[in-house]
Structure 1
Amino acid sequence: MDLLTNSTHLHIFSWVVGIIVFLIAATQPLDSKGRKILKMVLRVFYILIIGTGLALFIKYMSGDAALYGVKFLFGILTIGMMEMVLARQAKHKPAQLFWILFAISVLITVGLGFHLPFGIKLF
């Protein structure tokens, strides 16, 4: 467990790579084999993101439990919006609303992550 909570490096690496893979998958042709592979890789990164986030949440939530809980919920919401964008695109339905919700939830999650005591003080 110490590997997961020693620092935020693994967690930050996981969500940065996850977002990059998501953006690449979202721009791939809908019926391509590459898109299917990217979606599988993305789901592995979801597990890493949630696992490292949960470990950090458990270790550091005593400082400001409410904000850590809100950040955890927005992190799960971000992953949900990523899946909704890909699912709506696969069904050839409009996904603009989910793109907007994804962008908002990412900004809130990252903003809270930097603001909380274990984060980097940017503001």
Structure 2
Amino acid sequence: MAHLHITSWVIAFVMLGLATTFHRAGKQKAAKISQMILRADYLLVLFSGGWLFSSYANYGPLIIIKVLAGLWVLASMEAISAKYKKGKPAGSWWLQLTIAAILAIILGWGFLPLGILPA
């Protein structure tokens, strides 16, 4: 399930990049399609994350912080795509996305048992 979760996150970041690029280029139809795919991918991220959460239930505060960081990433991604759609600046949301993603990656790969970093 960890591979599905990581793959869905990669797809989400790619779709966010495409949506913002299409909005900047003025291709509203392509931007809307990529934004809808991004929103559908959120469901896959939430499903796989919930599955992983249920298998990590005994990790206490680390898993709770990881879940909150993951939800923060999703909220930041949605806010960025909404700001680009409205033509407003999204700089603060990009900063939040970066901080939350780094936190989630460090917790997921460094401290939880399915991670790849040495613990």
Does the alignment reach a TM-score above 0.5? yes
The one of 27, 33, 44 aligned to 2:29: 33
Aligned to 1:78: 73
Q: Does 1:54 align with 2:50?
A: yes
Q: Which 4+ residue blocks in structure 1 deviate beyond 3 angstroms?
A: none
Unaligned runs of 5+ in 2: none
Unaligned runs of 5+ in 1: 1-6
Aligned to 1:10: 4
CA contact (8 A) 1:60 1:118 kept: no
Query: TM-score normalised to the size of structure 2?
Result: 0.90
Secondary structure at 1:49's aligned position in 2? helix
Query: TM-score normalised to the size of structure 1?
Result: 0.88
1:73 deviates by: 0.6
Aligned-pair identity in percent equals 34
Report the count of equivalent residues. Answer: 116
